[in-house]
């Protein structure tokens, strides 16, 4: 894992699931993984790491983990102060010292805001239904795409199949377009490049591209 989001909070998703609205719901389980994993970003505030503001974090935690507040977890703020003693990352929490709008570690608005918006638009244009889940996952996934690791790792999911499940449930038309099993993040950016007719790859086709393995190799 990159230093941006360190490991060490895997136990947190299982703890959080005890207080969930549905222990067998795959979306709630995925959300628990993401909420707890993104606490471990040492160089940016929790809200920035998630791509959600405090009110949005409170809304989803209240709805999907209604009993967590009674256990002492903040519904709209950072979770790390409750887990630092168990986490190798440890240290102070940036959310506890305010939010400097001009510096968010890797998550600089000036460099990444438009990119995130383009990704969110791509997801929501392929969403099924008008519920909350597509919007939440579009925001979370778009922000995680800003990181260099495999997307499922940046999100803190258990494996690539868990990410694929999210996409199949909420963005099935998008998933169907990836009929050659391209790595998800590479696939999303390829679609954006196709839309703008701006291609960074110089090969005439994927089959003859010298970087074929970077886009299609198994994510391990």
89 shares a domain with 114 = no
Q: Angle at Cα 59 formed by Cα 126 and Cα 159, nearest 5°?
A: 55
125: Cβ contacts below 8 Å, ≥ 6 apart: none
112 shares a domain with 220 = yes
162 shares a domain with 114 = yes
In tens digits, the chain (220 residues) has pLDDT values of: 232 344 444 457 888 898 898 889 999 999 999 988 877 666 667 777 788 888 888 899 899 999 888 877 777 666 555 554 444 444 445 554 445 444 444 445 555 688 899 999 999 999 987 789 999 999 999 999 988 889 999 999 999 999 999 999 999 999 999 988 898 999 999 898 888 765 555 433 444 344 445 555 555 5
Among residues 53, 78, 101, which one ends one of the domains? 101
97 shares a domain with 40 = yes
89 shares a domain with 122 = no
216 shares a domain with 120 = yes
CA–CA gap between residue 155 and residue 140 (Å, rounded): 8
pTM of the full structure? 0.78
113 shares a domain with 195 = yes
Kindly tell me the sign of the dihedral angle through the C-alpha atoms of 54, 149, 206, 112.
Answer: positive
Among residues 101, 128, 160, which one ends one of the domains? 101
Residue 37 contacts residue 14 (beta carbons within 8 Å): no
Number of domains in the chain: 2
Structural domain span for residue 205: 108-220
192 shares a domain with 125 = yes
Long-range contacts of 12-15 (CB under 8 A, 24+ apart): 12/36, 12/37, 12/39, 12/79, 12/83, 13/37, 13/156
pLDDT at 16: 85
153 shares a domain with 79 = no
132 shares a domain with 207 = yes
Among residues 76, 101, 126, which one ends one of the domains? 101
121 shares a domain with 27 = no
């Amino acid at each position: 894992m990159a230093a941006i989001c360190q490991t060490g909070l895997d136990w947190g998703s299982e703890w959080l699931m005890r207080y969930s609205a549905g222990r067998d719901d795959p979306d709630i389980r995925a959300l628990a993984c993401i909420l707890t994993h993104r606490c471990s970003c040492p160089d940016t505030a929790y809200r920035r790491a998630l791509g959600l503001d405090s009110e949005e974090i409170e809304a989803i935690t209240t709805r999907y983990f209604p009993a967590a507040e009674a256990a002492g977890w903040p519904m709209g703020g950072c979770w790390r102060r409750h887990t630092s003693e168990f986490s190798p990352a440890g240290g102070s929490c940036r959310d506890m010292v305010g939010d400097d709008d001009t510096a968010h570690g890797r998550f600089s608005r000036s460099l990444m805001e438009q990119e995130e918006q383009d990704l969110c638009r791509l997801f929501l244009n392929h969403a099924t239904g008008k519920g909350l889940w597509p919007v939440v996952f579009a925001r979370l996934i778009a922000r995680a795409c800003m990181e260099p690791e495999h997307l499922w790792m940046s999100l803190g999911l258990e494996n690539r199949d868990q990410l694929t499940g999210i996409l199949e449930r909420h963005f099935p038309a998008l998933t169907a377009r990836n009929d050659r099993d391209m790595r998800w993040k590479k696939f999303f950016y390829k679609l954006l490049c196709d839309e703008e007719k701006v291609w960074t790859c110089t090969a005439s086709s994927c089959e003859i591209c010298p970087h074929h393995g970077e886009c299609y190799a198994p994510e391990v």
